[in-house]
A and B are shown apart, each in its own frame.
Chain A
């Protein structure tokens, strides 16, 4: 059986960042991804990222992806593409199907799950018609495959994904006839909203889609106003001619592999649903299995990269590639960088949810575990340290 020190599931921003840290420390790493190219969602992020210089701010996601791939190559990190992880267990043996042909079993000492997230959907009459799609799917079509998903588009959801994809649809030459938001206020960053607003795209707050109309594909959308109790307002329906309805209604962490391997979970609405409980080293309740990026709670690519690095450093440390002092220094530095991204009116909410996960992890530690202290027994002190270090 093939043995690797660290196996990373997912070659997106979190997974690649984790792999780079592990390889830099000297560990033998394997990265597995079900897609036919690495980079995750980075290669469709054609907009410039927020952050500071150290978070590669002002650089387009696609170029950040290229930098990560270059580093991955320079470190000769092994990457299996078109490869699906079908199973893993607490002993960290992993079952993979490669290129839909061959089945492999490998044994890892540490696993980092960086499987990302999946798009949410909302059901409505006609939602199975061709032309109804996730906003992320539309983004993949146009930015990765150069296919314009439609000419007249209705976007459902005004969060950052909704407004960014709307902007990119405009750039690709489509017309965005409106962005609907069920809530009374817009969700995305004001600067993203302003960008599409000054391009003439109208926003409809307190509206949702009632049905998609059309025979063989979407020909129109019927939209309807919602009252303060989220009930539809009779008589407020109107029909808008569109050929595409994009759904940007949130993301859910892809947690199946963490479930399979016995990780314990907590439910946090703000983080996208069930997330694996983990400590400040990104280690789950199963020793030696780590999580990073959207699977550990929906955030952004910039935080995913920092979490990936954090998980990579922690895994390398637990394999003995760093002494405690060096690991401590690197881990504190990662937390400083993460906390920079998790403050302000938007970031603080995410930080509070993330802290809840850490506190949950604390609560999970029973007396038995505490008698058997490991370097990963962060202790209450560690969690307090995190909240103070911002």
Chain B
């Protein structure tokens, strides 16, 4: 977590107040820049060489989420800390079947795959453009905002 906080694109405390923002957990010099080329607002910059770590201008970002499914490392999710008074909203990439359904209660996990809290699915986008990387949006109690990154895989059936 400390390493993440020091990484170039990680939000500072006040950035969370802006609305939905992307959290980019990309801390190595990988030759990769689809996040930059896909961003419709030009808010994400990698530049030259393409092994630079991404930086993000949160003032330009609208939180549209186009970058989530484009990242080959599945290293981006969108967090809306103040979704409502008590809950935050996370939108993360998910490539396991079965997909959760809207309204379903799921177990949200931290970076070690440990259950942190429950979440309620508010949206599932599985668009052709995203090529089988579904985007799951779920609400959860906002106190866990630094820990929740994904969900527990669902059993088959």
Interface residues in A, total, Cβ within 8 A: 35
Asked whether B50 lies within 8 Å of A198 as measured between CB atoms, the reply is: no
A390 within 8 A of B: yes
Secondary structure of the B contact surface, majority rule: loop
CB-contact partner of B31 in A171, A192, A197, A341, under 8 A: A341
Closest beta carbon of chain B to A383's beta carbon, Å: 20
Asked, given contacts A198-B113, A340-B49, whether A60 binds B131 with beta carbons under 8 Å apart, the answer is yes
Contact with B along A337-363 (1 / 0, CB 8 A): 000111111110000000000000000
A320 within 8 A of B: no
Asked whether B111 lies within 8 Å of A345 as measured between CB atoms, the reply is: no
Closest beta carbon of chain B to A310's beta carbon, Å: 17
Closest beta carbon of chain B to A271's beta carbon, Å: 18
Asked whether A198 lies within 8 Å of B27 as measured between CB atoms, the reply is: no
Interchain CA distance A153-B9 in the complex, whole Å? 35
Asked, given contacts A171-B95, A191-B75, A343-B49, whether A57 binds B32 with beta carbons under 8 Å apart, the answer is yes
Considering the complex, give the chain A residue whose CB is closest to the CB of B109.
A198
In the assembled complex, which residues on chain A have CB atoms less than 8 Å from the CB atom of B51? 343-345, 347
Interchain CA distance A63-B129 in the complex, whole Å? 13
CB-contact partner of B49 in A60, A191, A194, A344, under 8 A: A344
Interchain CA distance A197-B112 in the complex, whole Å? 5
Asked whether A192 lies within 8 Å of B49 as measured between CB atoms, the reply is: no
In the assembled complex, which residues on chain B have CB atoms less than 8 Å from the CB atom of A199? 96, 113, 150, 153
Asked whether B49 lies within 8 Å of A200 as measured between CB atoms, the reply is: no
CB-contact partner of A200 in B72, B109, B133, B156, under 8 A: B109
Contact with B along A187-204 (1 / 0, CB 8 A): 001111011011111000
A49 within 8 A of B: yes
Asked whether B131 lies within 8 Å of A194 as measured between CB atoms, the reply is: no
Count of A-B residue pairs with CB < 8 Å: 108
Interchain CA distance A190-B72 in the complex, whole Å? 12
Considering the complex, give the chain B residue whose CB is closest to the CB of A55.
B31
Considering the complex, give the chain B residue whose CB is closest to the CB of A53.
B37
Contact with A along B130-157 (1 / 0, CB 8 A): 0111000000000000000110110010
A274 within 8 A of B: no
A238 within 8 A of B: no
In the assembled complex, which residues on chain A have CB atoms less than 8 Å from the CB atom of B111? 194, 197-198
Asked whether B73 lies within 8 Å of A191 as measured between CB atoms, the reply is: yes
Closest beta carbon of chain A to B103's beta carbon, Å: 24
Interchain CA distance A52-B27 in the complex, whole Å? 18
In the assembled complex, which residues on chain B have CB atoms less than 8 Å from the CB atom of A340? 31, 49-50
Known: A52-B32, A53-B37, A190-B27. 10 other contacts (CB 8 A): A57-B72, A60-B132, A170-B96, A195-B73, A197-B112, A199-B113, A200-B113, A340-B31, A343-B50, A344-B30
Could you list 28 A-B pairs, sorted by A, with CB under 8 Å? A51-B32, A52-B34, A53-B34, A57-B32, A57-B33, A58-B34, A58-B72, A59-B131, A60-B132, A63-B131, A173-B156, A189-B30, A189-B73, A191-B30, A191-B75, A194-B25, A194-B73, A195-B73, A198-B110, A198-B111, A198-B113, A200-B152, A201-B113, A340-B31, A340-B49, A344-B28, A344-B29, A344-B49
Please provide the 4 A-B residue pairs with the shortest distance between their CB atoms, ordered closest to farther.
A344-B51, A200-B113, A191-B73, A344-B29
